[in-house]
């Protein structure tokens, strides 16, 4: 975590500990993508029934991810993007 501590200090971020920011989401992602599994079911489900039930609004995944990251930057949980 030495690298993260340097980043926090450099950009005056609000989260001194990376685990405080991400929680255990990395472990959920490992499970969802079946990281390290040789075979077996994945944790993803179809959205067809949601659409049939009337939830038809579509949000582009890339836009959603970009907006979430920007929100974390704006609230000083992540450093600004380098351009």
Q: What are 31-77's pLDDT values in tens digits?
A: 777 777 777 666 567 788 888 999 988 889 899 999 999 999 999 99
Distance CA 1, CA 80 (A): 19
Could you read off the pLDDT of 7-41 as tens digits, one per residue? 999 999 997 787 887 788 888 877 777 777 777 66
Extents of the domains making up the chain: 2-74
What proportion of the chain, given as a percentage, has pLDDT over 90? 39
Query: In the predicted model, what is the mean pLDDT of the chain?
Result: 84
* Residue 4 CA from chain centroid, whole number: 17
């Amino acid at each position: 975590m030495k690298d993260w501590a340097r980043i926090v200090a450099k950009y005056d971020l609000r989260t001194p500990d990376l685990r405080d920011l991400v929680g255990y989401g990395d472990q959920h992602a490992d499970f969802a993508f079946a990281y390290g599994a040789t075979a077996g079911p994945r944790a993803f489900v179809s959205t067809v029934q949601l659409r049939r039930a009337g939830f038809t609004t579509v949000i582009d995944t890339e836009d959603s991810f970009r907006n979430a990251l920007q929100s974390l930057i704006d609230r000083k949980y992540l450093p600004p993007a380098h351009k």
